[in-house]
Amino acid sequence: MSNPNSFDRSIKIAPSILAADFANFGQEIEAVEAQGADWIHVDVMDGHFVPNITFGPQTCSAIRPHIKSVMDVHLMIAPVDPYIEAFAEAGANFITAHLESGPHIHRTLQAIRGAGAKAGLALNPATPVEDVAYLLDMVDLVCIMTVNPGFGGQKFIHSQVEKTRKLRDLIGDRPIHIEIDGGVDPTTAPLVAAAGADVLVAGSAVFKGGSVQNPAPYGDNIAAIRKAAQAAQ
């Protein structure tokens, strides 16, 4: 488990509750944390920016007391700005908005930090990594989407490994996390870890085979991803 306020580039595994039992988020979160999760990744979808709907700030508030580690909220919504305050009040440590979510992402990032959260910037697979250049001093995390956002269980897009490497160069010494989201498993994790990523989101690869009643597979899955990534870092 890690502290949202300390920065390092060690590998952090962030299970996405998109792959958990939606009727039982509290216990699912407690189970993956007990099994070694470093952060909890919370996917918010609006059926407009992405073709799927999950939940909003009220669910985030409800699950917050179950998260001992870091609450990493990934907003796949447009517009973002009217909802930032609500997600900050819900207790998000990181609030990540998509660069593609509107014309004023600079303002959005300012508003996230202004609300007291750490600011994340997510890039869809087609977005050039150079687009982050004038935003790097305003972010605490950049999320490279290695699938098209909207659904769990999709295939990892390999072109994003080179993009991750370029992002690592652009970041230089700045204390900015590189997060990878989509299709992360023990086979793909080493590719992005070698390219410079430190936060690995994984939904299906963490929750497969386990349950609240039988949480040991969660631990095995997390350990397998971590081991593969650490060996490549």
The annotated binding site for substrate is made up of 16, 74, 150-153, 181-183, 203-204
Instruction: Collapse the DSSP code of 53 into the 3-class scheme (helix H, G, I; strand E, B; otherwise coil) and give the result.
Output: strand
Residue from 25, 29, 49, 74 touching ligand DX5 (CB under 6 A): that is: 74
88/199 with CB nearer ligand DX5? 199
On whether the CB atoms of residues 15 and 203 are closer than 8 A, the answer is yes
Cα–Cα dist 230/157, whole Å: 21
User: Would residue 116 be called left, alpha or beta, if left means φ above 0 and alpha means ψ between -120 and 50 degrees?
Assistant: left
Cα–Cα dist 111/92, whole Å: 14
- Tell the smallest beta-carbon distance from residue 96 to Zn ion (Å): 8
Q: Is 203 in the site for ligand DX5 (CB under 6 A)?
A: yes
Binding site, annotated residues for a divalent metal cation = 41, 43, 74, 181
38/181 with CB nearer Zn ion? 181
Q: Is 74 in the site for Zn ion (CB under 5 A)?
A: yes
Is residue 79 reached through a cis peptide bond, with omega within 30 degrees of 0 on the bond before it? yes
- The yes-or-no answer on residue 21 being catalytic is no
Catalytic position from the list 46, 72, 181, 198 = 181
Is 201 buried (19+), middle (13-18) or exposed (0-12) by CB count in 10 A?
buried
- Tell the smallest beta-carbon distance from residue 172 to ligand DX5 (Å): 27
- The yes-or-no answer on residue 43 being catalytic is yes
Task: Quote the distance between the C-alpha of residue 143 and its chain's center.
Answer: 7
x/- contact string, 166-195, with ligand DX5 (CB under 6 A)?
Answer: ---------------xxxx-----------
Neighbours of 207 (CB within 10 A): 23
Residues that bind ligand DX5 (CB under 6 A): 16, 18-19, 41, 43, 74, 147, 149-150, 152-154, 181-184, 201-205
Instruction: Provide the annotated active-site residues.
Output: 43, 181
